[in-house]
Every structure is written in C-alpha cells, then in structure tokens.
Amino acid sequence: MSASAKGRSLALRESISTDGVPLKRRKITHWIGRNWARIVYSHQVEPVWLETNVFELPIPHLDERLDGVSILHLTDFHLGDRVAKRHIRQAVDLGQQQACDLIALTGDFVQGGFRHVDPVAEMLSKLSAPLGVYAVLGNHDYAVRNASGLRLHRGLAERVRKSLEDYGIPVLHNEHRIVAKEGAPLAVAGVADLWSREADLRQALAGLDSETPRVVLAHNPTTIEQLETLRCDLMLSGHTHGGQIDVPGWGRPMLSRKMKGYAAGLYYHQGGFLYVNKGIGYTVRFRFRVRPEVAVMRLVRANLGAL
Ligand SMILES: [Fe+2]
C-alpha cells in the first residue's frame, strides 16, 4: 500500500467511532442533546427553583440594639398568566421560615392587569415580622413597560397600593417610617419607581436624623444614582431579574448595557450597600444560572478599624 493510501485509510478509521457512527454525526447529536437538556432545564426547572441567600452587612455606627437585625427581601413576583400562584406561595413560605425582623417587598407584584392584584396581595399577607412588612411599587405595577413612560393600564398602581394596604402591607411612596428594636430607631424609606416619573428620593429621606440608620426600598437599582449628597446604608432593589439568563462567556443578553452594571447581587456605593435581588417571578418563563431568590440581609455593627 502506498503512503498516501495508508494516510486515507487512517483518516477514515479516525472519523468512525467504535460503534460505527461517524464522529461528526455523533458530535452534532451530543450538541443537540446537551442544548435541548439546557432548554428544558431553563424552562421547567430553574424558573421555579428557589434559592436562599443570606448576607451579613457591616453598617457603621449601628446602634448595638440593632446589631444583627435581619431583613427579608422579596421582589418581582409578576403574578399573571405566566407565573403560577404556587411558585409565589412557596417563596412566601420560604421567606417566612427565615424569621426575619423586617420584611421588604420591592415591587412588580403583578403582570398583565387588574385581576391579579387581590390574589397576590392576599398571598403576601401571610408574611409577618416584628418590625413590619413594607412595600414599594415597580414599573409593572404602574403598567409602565419602558423608560419612555408608556402606560397600558391606567389606575393600576392605585389599585395595587390599595389592595396591599387593605391586606396590611403599607406601600411607601417617597416617604419613610421609623421602626424600633428595643427602642433603637431604624428608618425604612420607600421610593416610587423611576419609570413612573414620580420617584423622589430626597423627599423619601426628608427630615431624618443624620444618626438614624436607613434602609431604602427602590424597585429600580439605578435609583441609587440619585443619592447625590444623601446617605443610604442599604438600598434594596429588584427589576433586573438578574437578566434571567447568564451564559458563560457571553453574559446576560437580556439586560441593557446600563443595567448590566446593576445585574444582581451586592454593590457598594457612596459608603452604603445596594442589593439587587434576582426576583421571584419572570416576564418570560426562562432562567439559566439565575435562580429565583429569597434574600436575607443581616445588619451588623461595623468594625470601623477594618473598613
Ligand atoms: Fe420585574
């Protein structure tokens, strides 16, 4: 056999696997299988596979009576035709099991109209905490789909606010409340959603004693850019859903360039923390490497020498 015939024979043997299936066809089959499995997982499993994340946040000058105070943070429920009530009930149960001192709900309670408002408020009324449960509204509660301010359901925000308050959950609209643990004050402020064009962070924090630690509830994390000279020890936000998809080597294609800067997790800004929660629900039933989240923030006295 000539050298060139031997080479062709070797190449032929290498392209045939031991069971006689050409390697190229086998690779394609594996690729389709792997990606089909990922798609099924991202549609069926991950959107309703809750995770609990607990953080310990050092807060300077925190009164020792507030040391260890815990805040449960839930957001972006999106009750509607796509997100099942069962999923939200599971999140509420998991959240309540954390036995936190305070509960913060940061908007997007409904998606798709008025008929979902009372059901989601009724489900959230199962949450309780010694220092109370507080809420702010998100862009979907205002039925605002984009930054241009286009509204699909006028009056929805008022309806969501009334229903939550009827079920015992105060909705903070550019205002704050003082709660106290063993007499030590903690301010809980809430800001209207940015896209509603009603957000006023300065008004929400107006009149606060400079010594009082403050937690701000704001649906859209970019609200933190309006802090300017104001102080916020912790801002709790949602809105991004973590992008819902996080592809290795590609990132989060569903987020705009600006929102990629606030995709998910903990950020440090002007001496305070911003936490961007990945949310409970979704706008499209698809999550990949961005599981829905129950978050707990535990505030602790900062060791100023370590900062
Ligand atoms: Fe949302």
Place of tokens 């924090």: 205
Residue 153 has pLDDT above 60, yes or no: yes
Contacts of 249 (CB under 8 A, 6+ apart): none
Average pLDDT of span 196-218: 95
Between the CA atoms of 102, 134, 137 and 108, what dihedral angle is there, to the nearest 10 degrees?
A: 50
- Å from CA of 124 to ligand 1 middle: 16
pLDDT of residue 37: 87
| HEC profile of the chain | CCHHHHHHHHHHHHCECCCCCEHHHHHHHHHHHHHHHHHHHHHHHHHHCCEEEEEEEEECCCCHHHCCCEEEEECCCCECCCECHHHHHHHHHHHHHCCCCEEEEECCCECCCHHHHHHHHHHHCCCCCCCCEEEECCCCCCCECCCCCCECCCCHHHHHHHHHHHCCCCECCCEEEEEEECCEEEEEEEECCHHHCCCCHHHHHCCCCCCCCEEEEECCHHHHHHCCCCCCCEEEECCCHHHCECECCCECCCCCHHHHCCCCEEEEECCEEEEECCCCCCCCCCCECCCCEEEEEEEEECCHHHC
Between the CA atoms of 262, 268, 270 and 272, what dihedral angle is there, to the nearest 10 degrees?
A: 110
Percent of the chain residues past pLDDT 70, beyond the cut: 89
pLDDT of residue 61: 84
**98 with 104: CB under 8 angstroms?**
no
Residue 21 has pLDDT above 90, yes or no: no
Q: Which two tokens stand for residue 300?
A: 């602790």
Residue 73 has pLDDT above 90, yes or no: yes
pLDDT of residue 88: 98
pLDDT of residue 239: 97
- Å from CA of 240 to ligand 1 middle: 6
- Å from CA of 47 to ligand 1 middle: 13
- Å from CA of 97 to ligand 1 middle: 24
Number of CB atoms found within 10 A of residue 304's CB: 9
Residue 234 and residue 42: Cα distance in Å, rounded? 32
- Å from CA of 8 to ligand 1 middle: 59
Instruction: Give CATH superfamily name and number for 51-306.
Output: Metallo-dependent phosphatases (3.60.21.10)
CA angle, residues 223, 225, 226, in degrees to nearest 5 = 75
Residue 8 and residue 288: Cα distance in Å, rounded? 44
Q: Which two tokens stand for residue 134?
A: 């507080």
Residue 91 and residue 120: Cα distance in Å, rounded? 12
Give per-residue pLDDT as tens, 244-278.
999 999 999 999 999 999 999 999 998 899 999 99
- Å from CA of 281 to ligand 1 middle: 7
Confidence class of residue 113 from pLDDT cuts 50, 70 and 90?
A: confident
Average pLDDT of span 194-213: 94
- Å from CA of 111 to ligand 1 middle: 9
Give per-residue pLDDT as tens, 9-20.
545 455 666 667
Contacts of 196 (CB under 8 A, 6+ apart): 137, 139, 142, 144, 149, 157
- What is the chain's mean pLDDT, rounded? 91
Contacts of 119 (CB under 8 A, 6+ apart): 79, 85
Confidence class of residue 8 from pLDDT cuts 50, 70 and 90?
A: low
Residue 176 has pLDDT above 80, yes or no: yes
- Å from CA of 168 to ligand 1 middle: 22
Residue 123 and residue 127: Cα distance in Å, rounded? 8
* Residue ranges per structural domain of the chain: 1-48, 51-306
Pairing of strands 293-301, 272-276: unpaired
